[in-house]
């Protein structure tokens, strides 16, 4: 429980600093926008290129791409998209604070990189996430396992949220500790 309190303190102290709060919010909005555009790219292309659509209508169509505005995706999918975007934004501000405080080296945030990479692959397109897993599993002879996924690749989104949560927890602990990584004993 002590580590949980320390992680909460690290996250809170980071987000109470205005520059990190703004950075986290901007990261959240950018990630959510990129994910939304990748999900509805044909609509985004129409908004940009169709000269018949008025500006007000373009703005309204653009908002329809975001989660919870329309019911094109299942509710759980929208929740997970917002969670991934929020956790990526938090990790951006935490890692930036750690870099600025020289608490970690550039190689010290492997968990953040893995979580962010998995989130980018799986959220951008559920089929792309399944295809990536098929490519990885085919190297070891397990490509047919992807066909057995019951939720059409939503599992990757859940895994990415879990990895990003672990990364946020580890980075929050690193903010309040002197060493960012307990494995790094030489400075």
In this predicted model, what pLDDT tens digit does every residue of 34-72 receive, in sequence order? Answer: 888 877 788 888 888 888 888 888 888 888 888 777 777
In a domain, 11, yes or no: yes
In a domain, 187, yes or no: no
Report the pLDDT value the prediction gives residue 67, as an integer from 0 to 100. 79
List C-alpha distances in Å: 149 to 77, 116, 130, 140, 156.
Answer: 16, 22, 9, 18, 10
In a domain, 184, yes or no: no
In a domain, 44, yes or no: yes
Q: State the average pLDDT over residues 126-147.
A: 58
In a domain, 182, yes or no: no
Cβ contacts of 13 within 8 Å, gap of 6 or more = 175, 176
Least confident of 38-42, 113-117, 138-142, 163-167: 113-117
In a domain, 142, yes or no: yes
Least confident of 16-20, 138-142, 165-169: 138-142
In a domain, 32, yes or no: yes
Report whether 112 contacts 180 (CB < 8 A): no
Q: Is the pLDDT of residue 183 over 70?
A: no
In a domain, 185, yes or no: no
Tokens found for residue 23: 């950075």
- Proportion of the chain above pLDDT 70, given as a percent: 67
Whole-prediction pTM: 0.69
- Cα three-residue angle 7-118-104, rounded to 5 degrees: 40
User: How many of the other CB atoms lie within 10 Å of CB of 55?
Assistant: 7
Query: Which residues form the domain of 144?
Result: 2-176
List C-alpha distances in Å: 74 to 34, 45, 100, 110, 145.
Answer: 19, 23, 39, 31, 24
Q: How many distinct structural domains can be found in the chain?
A: 1
**pLDDT bucket at 75, cuts 50 / 70 / 90:** confident
């Amino acid at each position: 429980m002590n580590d949980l309190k320390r992680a909460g303190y690290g996250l809170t102290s980071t987000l109470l600093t205005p520059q990190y709060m703004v950075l986290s919010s901007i990261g959240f909005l950018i990630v959510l926008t990129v994910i939304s555009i990748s999900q509805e790219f044909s609509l985004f292309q129409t908004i940009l290129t169709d000269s018949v659509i008025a500006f007000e209508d373009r703005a309204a169509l653009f908002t329809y791409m975001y989660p919870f505005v329309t019911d094109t995706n299942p509710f759980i999918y929208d929740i997970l998209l917002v969670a991934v975007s929020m956790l990526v934004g938090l990790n951006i501000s935490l890692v930036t604070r750690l870099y600025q405080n020289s608490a970690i080296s550039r190689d010290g945030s492997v968990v953040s990189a893995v979580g962010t990479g998995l989130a980018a692959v799986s959220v951008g397109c559920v089929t792309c996430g399944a295809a990536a897993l098929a490519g990885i599993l085919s190297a070891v002879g397990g490509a047919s396992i992807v066909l057995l996924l019951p939720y059409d690749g939503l599992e990757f989104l859940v895994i990415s949220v879990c990895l990003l949560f672990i990364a946020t927890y580890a980075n929050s602990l690193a903010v309040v500790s002197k060493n960012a990584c307990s494995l790094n004993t030489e400075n």
